[in-house]
Every structure is written in C-alpha cells, then in structure tokens.
Structure 1
Amino acid sequence: MKTAIIGATGYGGIELIRLLSNHPSVEQIAVFSSSQQGVKMTDSYPHISERFFESLQDISIEALQGFDVIFLSTPPGVSAEWSSKLSAAAKVIDLSGDLRINDPAEYEKWYGRETASKEILNKAVYGLSEWNREQIKEAQIIANPGCYPTAVLLGMIPLVKSGAVDAATIIIDAKSGTTGAGRSASAMTHYSEMNDNLKIYKVNEHKHIPEIEQELAGFLNDTVTITLSTHLVPMTRGMMATMYASVPEGFDEQKIKEILESSYKNTPFVRVRPHKQMPSTREVNASNFCDIGWVYDERTKRLTLVSVIDNLVKGASGQAVQNMNIMFGLEETAGLNGLPVFP
C-alpha cells in the first residue's frame, strides 16, 4: 500500500509515521506540508534517522496521485477544502474535526468557521472503529474521532444504548497530556506554566462537546446534552475520562458488567476491567488500547466509569490506522500490535 500524510510535522503526523513504518502492508509513506517543502522530516524529528528518509513535499493534486490512502493530519479548515478533491482517487482519513459534525450550522457555532460541503459530510463515515465497523468497510472518507470523544464514547455507548444510564445525567471530567494541544508553542503549554500545575480549559465551550452529543444521540435516538470539563495535566501523553451518570431502576452491578463485557468481547483494543479495578494512563501508553474501569454505587444509584487512552494513538493516529485496516480488509490489528510502554 502507498500512503500519504498531509500535515506530517505535527504530533499526529509523526505518530502516523511510527505506526505505518511497522505496518506489514505499507510500502510507501509520503509526507506533505503547506509550508516546509523540501525539508527532511529528520530535521524536526532526529529520532527517526536511519529509518525514515523522506522530505516534505508541496501539497498539490498532481503530487497526491497514485496513493491508496491519504491521511489529513491537519488543523481545522484544511480538510474541508481538500477532502473532496482527494477522495475521487484515494481513500481519505481526516484526523481534524472538519467532517465529524453532521450539521454545518452546529460546526460553525463551535469551530467558528465554515465546514465542508454537505455532499462531503454525507459521504464521511464517523470512524469510531468498534461501533461503526460495517460503515467503515464501505467508506471512501473517514472522519476520525477526536481524542476526548473516543475515550468518552467507548465507555458510554454500551450503557446509553442499553438504557443502563440516564443520558441526561452524564457528567464527564476529562484530563489530557499536553500533546493534545499540538506542537505549536503557547502560554498554556509552556513548561513554566504547565509544570507542577493542573489547568481546566474551555469550560462549557470545548469543540468536542457537540461531537460526543451527536454520537450518543444516534444510539439513543433522542437528543443528549452532556457536561464536559477538560483539563491539561503535566504529562506528555495520555488521557483519562472519568464519567458519572445515574443508573435507572432495573439495572445493577451484574447487568452493567454483562453489558460492558459483551459489548467488547470480540474487539482487539477495548479492555474492560473487573468491577472496581481502575485503569491508569500509563497502562495504555503508546498503544491503541482503551481500558475501561467502573464502579457502581448501590447507595447513590450512580455509576463511575473511567476510560483511558493514549491521546495520540487510540485518540488519533492509531485509530486512523485501525480504520485504514478495516477499509482495506486487512487484519484490524496490523501495525498496532505493540504492547503499552510501561513504566
């Protein structure tokens, strides 16, 4: 397979290179940039010296011909322009948020810009691998989920779908390593600001809120409104979503256990922990796993659900490769078999 990465200089791009370099079916990885044409990837990332020799190419329709799949690891706005141009000749996996929100007005409200055409939005399949596998198999364009939505949805979908939680009571407290903010320097992620510190940000304004609500609503067949609080923690990578919801009458610890375990018994990357055994971010570090832990409180009739992922892998590039595997009928775990890096 011949692959191309547009926006290869960011953390998502270099993680794609790492994963695709170990993929048994990938023979070429070409890299593209809108501003660093001719620059070697090793100039920015010396750790790939002697293993990756490509230089960045200019983005053009001509240069992007002949690839089987093109990854758009770009800021919002780029995919809205390029996805329609590229998808006629290759499969496209978009890691930005441009194609995730079905309603253009809702996208513009949260992202502050216009989205792709309605035609492209209708073609794009939301790439939550474990839950949209059949649609992904037939897709030409994938809207790769965001990192917070991946962690939240993998934990909550089975319970919302089965009615085991009251969706109106969902509150999410989520924390991410600083790579989630991207590679560009900012006061928020500056070492002196972030070290020995914990920051909440975008309170009630995070652009992943409508993405989570949209996908949960699809399984509930009704509108869903959530509270999502996002925090940056002083670590490089990793994400933990701690979720709270009320449990209706008729559901108990045993039923919750059965719902979660049966939902993921045949999936290679979602691991459900025994009751009260909680996961940590280090236990999925640099891997495509999502680990889910949970505690049901009989006294309050509330569920505490904890979902951990590596924000750069399962939350971005790893899920993109998983979706590529599904789209091309490859082994779903191809290129993603590495164990978590611990400690």
Structure 2
Amino acid sequence: MERVKAAIVGASGYTGQELVRRLLLHPHVELTAATSRQEEGRTLAEVYPRFAGIPGAELAFIQPDPQAIAATGATFAFLALPHGVAAEIGRALLDLGLRVIDLSADFRIHDAGVYEEFYDHAHPAPDLLAEAVYGLPEVRADDIKAARLIASPGCYPTSILLPLLPLLREKLIVPATIVANSMSGVSGAGRKADLSLLFCECNESARAYGVPKHRHLSEIEQELTIAAGEKVVISFIPHLIPVNAGIVTTTTATLADGVDPEAIGAALERAYAGEFFVRLLGKGRPADTKRVSGTNFIDIGWTHDPRTGRVILMSAEDNLGKGAGGQAIQSFNLMAGLDPTAGLQSV
C-alpha cells in the first residue's frame, strides 16, 4: 500500500512532538514536511534525540510556507499552531488542495461572534466555519471521512464531552445542573517560557485557573447544546497539577426525574461499546491518568449518589494523545480510509 504523505505545521511544540512520534511510526504515513521557524534546518532527530535512528527522523525542519509544504507532495496537513495563526495557513493549504486537520481553536466554534467573545479577536476565516467538522471520531465518523477541514477538539472538551453526550441525547440528566472539574498536566499549557509554568512554580502545587470562563467552554457548550437540543450552560473549573501530561475530569449532574441510575451505564454502552479508544470502566470505578498516559485511550467510569440525586462521571486521557495529537491522527485515519487504530495502538 502506498504511504499517505503528510505534513506537520508547528512541529516543535509538545503536541507537535506527539504528532511526530506517532506519524514516524505510522505504518501508512510518510512524513514529508515538519515546520518550525526556530528550528529551520535542523533534523527531527537533532531537535528530538529520542527519535534518532527511526526512519524519517532525518527530515529537516522548514519554514511554515504553504507553497513549500505542498511542494513536498503532502496531501494532508496537521496544524499544531496557536489560535489566530492556524486559520491563515489552513486556508492557504486548502486552496492548494491539501486536506487539513487543525488542532488549534480556530475552526472549532461555529459562530464567529462566540469565537471573538472567548478569544478576544475577530475570527480570521469566518467563511470556513460552516465547512469545518468538529473532529470527535466517536461522534462524527461519517462526517470526518468526507471532510477536507477538521477542527480537532481541545483536551478538556474531549474529557468532558464523551461522557456527557450520550446522557444528554437520551435526556437522562438535567443540563442546567452540569458542573465539570478537570485537572491537567503542565504540558497542556504548551511549550513556552512562562514564569507560572516553571518547575518550582508548579511542583508540589495545584491551582485552579481560567475561571469562571475558560476558553474551552465555548466549544464544550456548543457541543452539549447540539446533543441536548436546547441551550446548555455549565460550570467548568480547570486545575493545573504537577504532572507532565494527563487530564482527569469529574463531572456531576442531577439525574432527570424518573430515570433509573442504571440507565447511565446502559447509555454509555450503547454509545461506545464498539469504540476501540473508549474504555468503559463501569459503575464505581474511577479513571486514572496513569493508565492512559502515552496512549490514545479515554477511560470513563461513573457512579450515582442517592443522597444528592447526582450522577458522577469520571474520565481520564492523555492531553497530548486523545486530547490532541492522537485524536487528530484518529480523524486522519478515517479521512484516508485507513483502520481508525492505525499508528495509535501503543499502551
């Protein structure tokens, strides 16, 4: 089988590194371009010595020029760029005939006004929003297969949406009562110089941040609203914890009147029983970041508190895997007509 040629635009960050790792080892991919303004001319193996000796790691970084990327023969491009930057390059690559999987927030929000509200600047390509497919493979596989532009979900949203969507679709919980608490490893903030992210600032410490209106709320509430068929507004409290990678989320909501608590587990089974990367732990079993670190799995457990009438959903994922690079490759596999698990089965 001929390998699919792919490019990574913005390959020197933490998510970019995860994409490099996965795509170098992907059995059906030839990595033809990796871009970085800072690392231009250096090879992948020089920047990431862990990849030395792996076929393809001799590839040198280039500038993020769309014409140069297209000239490598790439037919797919992964954008691991900051919001506001990805849209411009994404448009140029689409015009050159590439299919684009964007890991920034630029195409996740359907409403340009909502994007501006949460990201503090006008949307750079509002005409493309109607075309972009929100890339949750377990929810929109058919749309993803046919798309040329994927908006790959954020790490926090993935950990919140996958447990909640089946329950909202089946009207098992009261939407207005949803509260999500998430804890993320430091790599979720990106690979950048920031005093608040230094080792001595993060180690032996945990703190909430981005409250009460974290940017990911925009896509979370958008997707919950679609599933519920009514406007959904939730409380979301993210926390930074002193680990490199991983997200654990605990979400609670009041059970709808007359609903048997066991319907929660049944709804999750109906939604995900055939999905390889969703591991349902069952009732009373919390999720643990250690079990998903370095993988593309999301683990989901649940329980019911009869004292409060609330459902407790517990999920864990690797924020660089299922929360970013791994999930983007999962969408790529669908778009390219490959096995959805190709290049993603490491544990």
TM-score (norm 1): 0.96
1:258 maps to what in 2?
A: 266
1:111 maps to what in 2?
A: 119
1:3 deviation in Å?
0.6
Output the amino acid matched with 2:302: W
- Matched residue SS, 2:299: strand
1:78 maps to what in 2?
A: 85
CA separation in 2, counterparts of 1:60 and 1:180? 26
- Matched residue SS, 2:68: coil
Output the amino acid matched with 1:280: D
**Any idea what the Cα deviations from partners look like across 1:172-204, whole Å, max 9, x if unmatched?**
110000000111121211111111000111111
Indicate if the aligned counterparts of 1:11 and 1:182 stay in contact, CA closer than 8 A.
yes
Q: Which runs of 5+ in 1 are unaligned?
A: none
**Match status 1:53 vs 2:58:** yes
- Matched residue SS, 2:139: coil
Indicate if the aligned counterparts of 1:83 and 1:120 stay in contact, CA closer than 8 A.
no
CA separation in 1, counterparts of 2:277 and 2:346? 11
2:328 maps to what in 1?
A: 320
2:183 maps to what in 1?
A: 175
Output the amino acid matched with 2:191: R
**Match status 1:69 vs 2:76:** yes
Alignment counterpart, residue 28 of structure 1, candidates 18, 28, 31: 31
Q: Which residues of 2 match residues 301-340 of structure 1 at below 5 A? A: 301-339=309-347
Indicate if the aligned counterparts of 1:71 and 1:95 stay in contact, CA closer than 8 A.
yes
Output the amino acid matched with 2:75: D
**Match status 1:140 vs 2:154:** no
Output the amino acid matched with 1:49: A
Output the amino acid matched with 1:332: P
2:5 maps to what in 1?
A: 2
CA separation in 2, counterparts of 1:112 and 1:53? 39
Alignment counterpart, residue 131 of structure 2, candidates 120, 123, 128: 123
Alignment counterpart, residue 39 of structure 1, candidates 37, 42, 45: 42
1:124 deviation in Å?
0.7
Q: Which range is displaced more, 110-119 or 75-84?
A: 110-119
Indicate if the aligned counterparts of 2:66 and 2:89 stay in contact, CA closer than 8 A.
no
CA separation in 2, counterparts of 1:209 and 1:195? 27
CA separation in 2, counterparts of 1:259 and 1:5? 37
RMSD over aligned Cα, in angstroms? 1.1
Indicate if the aligned counterparts of 1:99 and 1:115 stay in contact, CA closer than 8 A.
no
CA separation in 1, counterparts of 2:30 and 2:46? 23
1:11 maps to what in 2?
A: 14
Q: Which range is displaced more, 259-268 or 309-318?
A: 259-268
1:209 deviation in Å?
0.5
Output the amino acid matched with 1:106: V
1:300 deviation in Å?
1.6
Indicate if the aligned counterparts of 2:32 and 2:74 stay in contact, CA closer than 8 A.
no
- Matched residue SS, 1:75: coil
- Matched residue SS, 1:211: helix
- Matched residue SS, 1:274: strand
Q: Kindly report structure 1 stretches of 4+ aligned residues shifted beyond 6 Å.
A: none
Q: Which runs of 5+ in 2 are unaligned?
A: none
1:35 deviation in Å?
3.7
**Any idea what the Cα deviations from partners look like across 1:121-171, whole Å, max 9, x if unmatched?**
111100011001111011000000000000000011011111111110000
- Matched residue SS, 1:3: strand
Indicate if the aligned counterparts of 2:74 and 2:98 stay in contact, CA closer than 8 A.
yes
1:274 deviation in Å?
1.8
Indicate if the aligned counterparts of 1:20 and 1:29 stay in contact, CA closer than 8 A.
no
Count of aligned positions:
339
Indicate if the aligned counterparts of 1:10 and 1:183 stay in contact, CA closer than 8 A.
yes
Alignment counterpart, residue 213 of structure 2, candidates 205, 220, 225: 205
CA separation in 1, counterparts of 2:247 and 2:295? 12
Matched-pair identity in %:
40
- Matched residue SS, 1:266: coil
Cα separation, partners in 2 of 1:237 and 1:46, compared to 1, 3 Å: same
